[in-house]
């Protein structure tokens, strides 16, 4: 397999413990291990991360921004899913 045929990987980095992984970019690699090592070298050169995820782009299934209204509309009529439906007890921070 030539370099041009290497699969595309999406890279996600978590900068600190307790934070979410954030998409930081993409890269081509021959296999998963090479993708992980390359992601480390490219995206965490200055110790920016504590965790890296690499995912082959062809393994990701995503909704389309054009389908936003019909795709997410069913949640709009379920008020119990919104935090305003519940009363927050005193002394409970960050709920």
Among candidate residues 5, 20, 11, the one with its CA nearest the CA of residue 38: 11
3-63 fold: Ubiquitin-like (UB roll) (3.10.20)
Predicted TM-score of the model (pTM): 0.69
Spell out the SS3 assignment of the chain.
CCHHHCCEEEEEEECCCCCCCEEEEEEECCCHHHHHHHHHHHHCCCCCCCEEEEEEHHHCCCCCHHHHHHHHHHHHHCHHHCHHHCCCCCCCCCC
pLDDT in tens, 38-87: 999 999 988 888 999 999 999 999 888 887 777 767 666 676 666 666 67
């Amino acid at each position: 397999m030539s370099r041009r045929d290497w699969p595309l990987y999406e890279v996600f980095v978590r900068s600190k413990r307790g934070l979410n992984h954030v998409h930081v970019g993409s890269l081509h690699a021959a296999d998963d291990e090479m993708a992980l090592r390359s992601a480390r070298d490219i995206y965490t050169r200055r110790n920016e991360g504590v965790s890296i995820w690499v995912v082959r782009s062809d393994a990701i299934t995503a909704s389309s921004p054009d389908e936003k209204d019909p795709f997410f509309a069913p949640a709009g009529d379920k008020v119990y899913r919104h935090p305003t439906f519940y009363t927050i007890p005193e002394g409970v921070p960050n709920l």
